[in-house]
Amino acid sequence: MQFVTYAYNIAHVKISIAQFSVKWFLSERRKQIFERIKEKHGKVDGQDQVVSRLTALVVVFELLTAKHDQPVLISYPSENGLPAIARKALFVMYNFTRMCSILNSFKEMVSKNYYPKLVPLALLSSDMQRGVLMDFRPLADMIFSLDIIHSGNGSRRSDFTVPKICHWLTNFTSQFSKIYSKIQILTPATDLLFDELFVKIHLIKMFHNTMKLMFNLLCLETLTDM
């Protein structure tokens, strides 16, 4: 495939307004993502490989959000920056790396004896589990409501499509970001807070594994840091 047509729809009629090479498109997308990361996090020195992988993930995510019965539309790179769906894709990847960072930091602190080893969830008090789960309930509800919808006659059918997985990921990471900004995950090392910390880590592991499953279903690689 040498060229991608940029188009828009009037009803079901596709109208082309420009053509550009795939190589040029990816190069421009990469520049936009590079600038976006630089704007948010400062220096991007030595991150070329990460930016390249991130570009590939964002572009694939953009393509996967299209419904099967509609044309695939690709936003022409412009001075206005990344289109909304590309920004959402970037946000999904960023929040996944946040979860990776939390789990890696916890593991490192355990190795340094700052935290004790993670206790199995079954050994933690039910009251503690319920208390912590209330803070993370929007995320837990999204996981437990996955895939199954009920029809009027009481039967079940799968509602798991590729675009819906993509939209689920954007909504899930949006909820996670809101919770992350309000709740401290890695709390100070005190005996009174260890049980609460352990429940939080178990939940983060569940969220992390669920996102990995979604990425696998979409055949997307994952990034552990950015």
When pLDDT is cut at 50, 70 and 90, the band that residue 110 belongs to is: very high
Last residue of a domain, one of 47, 81, 115: 81
* pTM, 2 dp: 0.80
Both structure tokens of 201: 């880590």
* Pairing assessment for the beta strands 156-158 and 148-150 based on DSSP bridges: antiparallel
Contact present, 79 and 52 (Cβ < 8 Å): no
How many whole angstroms separate alpha carbon 180 and alpha carbon 107?
19
To the nearest 10 degrees (0 to 180), the angle between helices 162-182 and 48-64 is 130
Separation of CA 134 from chain center: 22
Length of the chain: 226
The string of pLDDT tens digits covering residues 25-42 is: 888 888 888 888 788 776
> Which position has the higher pLDDT, 21 or 130?
130
158 or 133, greater pLDDT: 133
Percent of the chain with pLDDT over 70: 77
Across the chain, mean pLDDT equals 81
CB atoms within 10 A of CB 215: 20
- Which of residues 15 and 186 earns the better pLDDT score? 186
Same domain, yes or no, for 75 and 96? no
Domain count, the chain: 2
Do 67 and 104 share a domain, yes or no? no
**Worst-scoring range by mean pLDDT, 15-24, 81-90, 189-198?**
15-24
